[in-house]
Amino acid sequence: PAPPARAGQYVSVRLRMPDGVHQLRQYSLSSDPGDDLRRITVKRVAGEAGAPDGEVSNLLFEQVGTGDELTLSAPFGDVSLDDADTPLVLISAGIGCTPMAGMLARLAATGSGRRVLVLHADTSPDDHALRAEVRETVDRLPDAEAVFWYERPGAEEPGARTGLMDLTGIDVPADSTVYLCGPLPFMRAVRGQVLKAGVPPRRVHYEVFGPDLWLPEAA
């Protein structure tokens, strides 16, 4: 059986590359950690401005199929879903939606009645990973709401907002527990908006993969 995990944690995936070198990549668990199966959701990384494509993500897409075995670490991560009954705000951008999907799945599986606000920013509805699943899970929860922002809105999400995430007019209770996941500039900007809304810094949680460049100003 898979080792115990908490919603919001991640695993390291170890892959042997074509040149024989082993590479490690971290992926959040995007399903209910109470399930027998573990799920990760991988974004295929295409190179931009002359940069090469992402080695590991493209290998997973092109060469790994049903029945193949992957080497995973035990779940890691200090940022995980708490079991309080205070309001919960899940804020993400891009593939940062994956740990939030796992948290939502856990809330639904446990029949949580907690107030939940899901806020996500992306390029377009088509680029928004797990969009339909997140919508369905939000609808299953008794006191949950989702608001999405897209640079290029589409008919799939007629109520979505256009442009960058702006919390103006969004009710973020001061006693909320807030989780952030996404590119570092996004998290910096949105954290500032959350603090301005009255949420204390100690109630705002985030995970940075790699050197934590945020620490000097995150207190």
Rounded Cα distance, 22 and 1, in Å: 25
Is residue 55 domain-shared with residue 107, that is, in the same domain? no
Compute CA distances 127 → 90, 151, 153, 160, whole Å: 19, 11, 11, 14
- pLDDT tens, position by position, 183-201: 999 999 999 999 999 999 9
- pLDDT tens, position by position, 110-135: 999 999 999 999 999 999 999 999 99
Q: Are strands 22-28 and 10-16 parallel, antiparallel or unpaired?
A: antiparallel
Q: Is 27 contained in some domain?
A: yes
Q: Of 106, 105, 95, whose CA–CA distance to 26 is shortest?
A: 95
pTM of the full structure: 0.91
> Quick one: pLDDT band at residue 219, thresholds 50, 70, 90?
very low
- Rounded to the nearest integer, the mean pLDDT of the chain is 91
Is residue 63 domain-shared with residue 104, that is, in the same domain? no
Is residue 39 domain-shared with residue 137, that is, in the same domain? no
Is residue 125 domain-shared with residue 164, that is, in the same domain? yes
pLDDT of residue 36: 87
Alpha-helical segments (H) within 110-180: 131-140
Q: Is 82 contained in some domain?
A: no
Structure tokens at 143: 């006191």
- pLDDT tens, position by position, 25-50: 999 999 999 998 899 999 987 766 66
Is residue 168 domain-shared with residue 144, that is, in the same domain? yes
> Quick one: pLDDT band at residue 211, thresholds 50, 70, 90?
very low
Q: Can you give the CATH number for the domain in which 145 is found?
A: 3.40.50.80
Is residue 56 domain-shared with residue 134, that is, in the same domain? no
Radius of gyration of the chain (CA): 18
Would you give the end-to-end CA distance of the chain in angstroms?
A: 39
Q: Can you give the CATH number for the domain in which 31 is found?
A: 2.40.30.10
